[in-house]
Structure 1
């Protein structure tokens, strides 16, 4: 497989393009991550070259290049390095500049740190395998892997706080005492107990506003995003929404025919889901029914694998106040 192909073993080329765009357009984020995002971490040779341009420009002039300066440096690099694919270069430059006009890079900062750690750990494992064959220097192996695992950790953040230093915040609720906002709520029950129907009913009630099932006020009507592979949208879900009196304009049904299957365990999946939630707007809850259908090959009985999916999902829920 050539290095310019879109398939990678860790983070997609699409994500890596956004990280380069963040380096160019978000100076604060770039400076914050200057020491950990290394050009050699990028799988695509053009992205690696562009990351080098931004980094070297900053080291020389103590500032991030403007779009024009970036163009000039990139053109000079392409002219001097005939090995770089010119067509790929032009397309990638165009996408990066588009991201700069359209994207907010707040969520990309977290992705950039995770990407840097992934690539550092991968490099450390390869180096350690070589060390193991040649010298069995376990101390060197331990240090290499430990250093890589610390990539992206902020050393200036204390490991603990005194309780007296923590500012107390009130928990915000979608439905008071039952469903908090900015967190994951698990809804379980016996087979055929009506769990899917009840959650869709909750979305319908939310779309009308007024009060919850127990009379607790909920405020103005708001939307929801309903993800399921169990029930067909046209023949079942739409009929139920009408029967339950839901506002169809405020209930988004996940498109199960989309060419990219939403497997939340895969890099970039939660990012794509978050972008969709931002695009449609005014959504107060996300229903995933059941979550196991959207976790790919994740073993539901393996705690670490389940946490690897739910933890970033919970962070996204907190960011979007769902």
Structure 2
């Protein structure tokens, strides 16, 4: 199934949406969504951020009225929200993670995952339609979304570079579930992954800095999911070597475009306007 737009929700006038998570102070989602609302002429729509952890999530959802169109979710709520929903899309179910909740006209809560199609769209924007092999650096929640995206992009095996056998087993399990041939290797050998035609870095800030000196002379495409600070040391070294770089802001914008479209029912969402707003916010610090 696919998520349904919230435009047929009961009532009229002001509509609300927000991003939830913990910590949430530095989320760029309000900047992107508000820019979209302004461009689309949705002057009575608002988008805010709320500090919500797993313990507070059930009460927060119960307190929402019919004026709410949808929610964006970040960590640690992407899995915690699933039992609180009426249904989730196949995309969200494939990685057991929901980053988007749409409230339908009949009051149902529908969960979706726009990170996966957002990754695919960000890669396609840079001309990456298909690769023969790929590497994933890291094994957290974003790595499983990366594997789901690679199911559509990578024709051959994916090598995941991880720090423990437990993480390796998780990634192989996700590969089996998603139909991706996953090989695992020790993080100490992660520099080898940089030679793949597509390398996706899914680790926290600073983790890949030590790999910056190992970028090959003719690199392929790097997808680094971070956006602040930007560029990362690895992304900067990659660009200096002439490689193509897809950044975390690209992912954030593309997945937010899909959220705006689902929540408002207006298509297409203004991608260029949203990206420019995000760039300005990052430049302002």
TM range (shorter): under 0.3
TM-score (norm. length: structure 2)? 0.25
TM-score (norm. length: structure 1)? 0.23
The structure having more radius of gyration, on CA atoms, is 1
Which protein, 1 or 2, shows the higher relative CO under an 8 Å CA cutoff with sep ≥ 6?
Answer: 2
Question: 1 or 2, which has the higher helix percentage?
Answer: 1
Question: 1 or 2, which has the higher strand percentage?
Answer: 2
